[in-house]
Amino acid sequence: MKPTISVIIPFTKNPIQLDEAISSVMQQTFKDFEIVLVNNQSSQDALDNALVWSRKHPAKIRLVSELKKGAAAARNRGILESHGEFIAFLDSDDRMKPHRLYAQLEALKNHPEITLVGAWKDRVSPDGQTLLEKNDKPKIPRWASILFLDDSRFLKDPLFEPQTSTFFFRKETALEIGSFDETFDPFWLEDTDFVLRMYQRGRILIVPDSLIEYRTHTQEEEDYRIFDIRNIQNHGLFFEKLKGWYFSKSSPSMRKAFDKIASRWLRESAIKIIYFRGGEKISRVLLKRAIAANNLDIKNIECFLRFFLPSSLWPRPFNRIPLTRGVLPEDINLEWAKSFLSI
């Protein structure tokens, strides 16, 4: 008999955290579930741990593999391999609260108009031992507030973006929208894109309860994530998708909205790229374009002027600077800077 819920856990490393994630699912009050562990080019120790679990609970836990490296590809593999009507995601470094599956199933099962259920989360330390923030609520992305400012639906039914480990949805709905877009791999914004396409199909509901423990990153991990060039590139990819769905040359208000989004992302890209070797000229081009797109945003002008000061006074993304100045990919150059996020 097929399970009601398939819990999908992609993993790449850290067997101890994976062990905690699986254990948290096995302790659910709702028992009609399966666990699909997705090996995504994992370390051997994590794979060995997954094998132990799948052999110990063969009726409950299955191990599958996705050879293409990436969050979207791994989640898509899990969706395709799942047997349940409903799907719950859990990242391998996070943990479920015992009532998570029950609460989200109750929220979704009798409401066909809802496409995605999320929840609040508790933020815990990287070692998982210390509660840092309780009941952290999903927020409305800034780009969505700009883009849908005059949208009547958005005013009544805003777009919240829940943490991926709280995603709960019908398998059928995910397949209908094309699941995750693997062009975002290895990661960054694949979850944002998925949430938006779910929102285009129906309602997103947030359960007002913390249903997972979200493990925060170490300082080293956070520094890497902040200065990951792929994040910038994927913003460009997502921007092109937004244009394809919503941009209209005949709508002055829509042009203004896209100018504001582009301006913000150009500035945010500039204050990261300047910390790479050879990034100063590229960053100044990006900031000039940010000012041209939205000359009312004083942050653009402030950042541009500070780039002419000593580097100790440059703006810092999330108040951080990298320990060493990295090397930009060859395709991140002045020509790229002139066309990135163009309308």
What pLDDT, in 10s, does the model give residues 120-142? Answer: 999 999 999 999 999 999 999 99
**SS3 (DSSP) at 156:** helix
Q: Is the same domain home to 205 and 234?
A: no
Between the CA of residue 207 and those of 91, 137, 138, what are the distances in Å? 19, 10, 10
The whole-number average pLDDT for the span 252-271 is 97
Task: Kindly report the CATH number assigned to the domain that includes residue 55.
Answer: 3.90.550.10
- Residue 125 in any domain: the answer is yes
Between the CA of residue 89 and those of 62, 76, 174, 252, 315, what are the distances in Å? 15, 11, 12, 40, 36
**SS3 (DSSP) at 13:** coil
Tokens for 223, please give them.
């520094």
Q: What is the pLDDT of residue 321?
A: 87
Q: Is the same domain home to 72 and 172?
A: yes
Count of H-run helices and E-run strands, the chain: 14, 9
How many domains in the chain?
2
Range of the domain at 245: 228-339
Q: Is the same domain home to 63 and 172?
A: yes
Q: Is the same domain home to 61 and 118?
A: yes
Tens digit of pLDDT for each residue in 295-315?
A: 999 999 999 999 989 989 999
Of 169, 186, 216, the domain-final residue: 216
- Residue 222 in any domain: the answer is no
- Torsion sign, CA atoms 39, 51, 163, 102: positive
Q: Is the same domain home to 35 and 182?
A: yes
Q: What is the pLDDT of residue 265?
A: 99
Of 192, 216, 240, the domain-final residue: 216
- Residue 27 in any domain: the answer is yes
Q: What is the pLDDT of residue 219?
A: 87
Q: Is the same domain home to 196 and 54?
A: yes
Of 216, 242, 277, the domain-final residue: 216
Tens digit of pLDDT for each residue in 27-49?
A: 999 999 999 999 999 999 999 99
- Residue 182 in any domain: the answer is yes
First to last CA, the chain: 52
The whole-number average pLDDT for the span 173-200 is 98
Q: What is the pLDDT of residue 250?
A: 85
Q: Is the same domain home to 182 and 298?
A: no
- Residue 51 in any domain: the answer is yes
pTM of the model: 0.95
Least confident of 148-157, 219-228, 232-241, 288-297: 219-228
Q: Is the same domain home to 152 and 252?
A: no
* Cβ count within 10 A of residue 338: 13
Q: Is the same domain home to 290 and 211?
A: no
Q: Is the same domain home to 254 and 208?
A: no
The whole-number average pLDDT for the span 207-222 is 95
